[in-house]
Copies of this chain bind each other. A is one copy, B any other.
Amino acid sequence: MAVKRSGPDAGLGEFIRRQRELGHLSVRQLADACGISNAYLSQIERGFRNPSSFVLKALADGLELSAETLYAQAGILDPAQGEANDVVEAVRRDPYLSARQREMLVEMYESFRKVNDAD
């Protein structure tokens, strides 16, 4: 078959689960938000199924993180990417933060910028 196929070894599932738990979402909640079945999400998280591009995209949306991040985790996008500059982008890409935490950091950053513009 020549094209990579991941089995129950894939770290992608674990990553998704971790993100879901950081956001305090149940399997069903995230599955609904993504338009996929909870059964399927459960299998993805445990590495038994290999989500298609569209499901991956939907998961990225549901988890409120950039599709790039998820695809990088899936080993599809080269994670290297760009030369580090934009704080907001860096926050959005960070795989260890919850959606809420990312939101807070971005807000804080932007309020700083705003204040600075004033003086």
* Most-contacted residue by chain B among A52, A67, A81, A84 (CB, 10 A): A84
Using CB atoms, name the residue of chain B closest to A56.
B53
A sample of 15 inter-chain contacts (CB < 8 A) reads: A2-B36, A2-B58, A3-B35, A4-B54, A22-B116, A53-B71, A66-B82, A67-B78, A82-B82, A82-B86, A84-B84, A84-B87, A96-B116, A105-B105, A105-B109
Query: What string of 1s and 0s marks CB contacts (under 8 Å) between A1-37 and chain B?
Result: 1111100000000000000011000000000001110
Interface size class of chain A, counting residues whose CB lies under 8 Å from the partner chain: 35 or more
Using CB atoms, name the residue of chain B closest to A4.
B54
Query: What string of 1s and 0s marks CB contacts (under 8 Å) between A56-86 and chain B?
Result: 1110000000111001001011110111111
**A98/B84 in contact, CB under 8 A:** no
A interface residues, Cβ below 8 angstroms from B: 1-5, 21-22, 34-36, 50-58, 66-68, 71, 74, 76-79, 81-87, 89-94, 96-98, 101, 104-105, 108-109, 112-113, 116, 119
Bound Cα distance A36, B4 (Å): 11
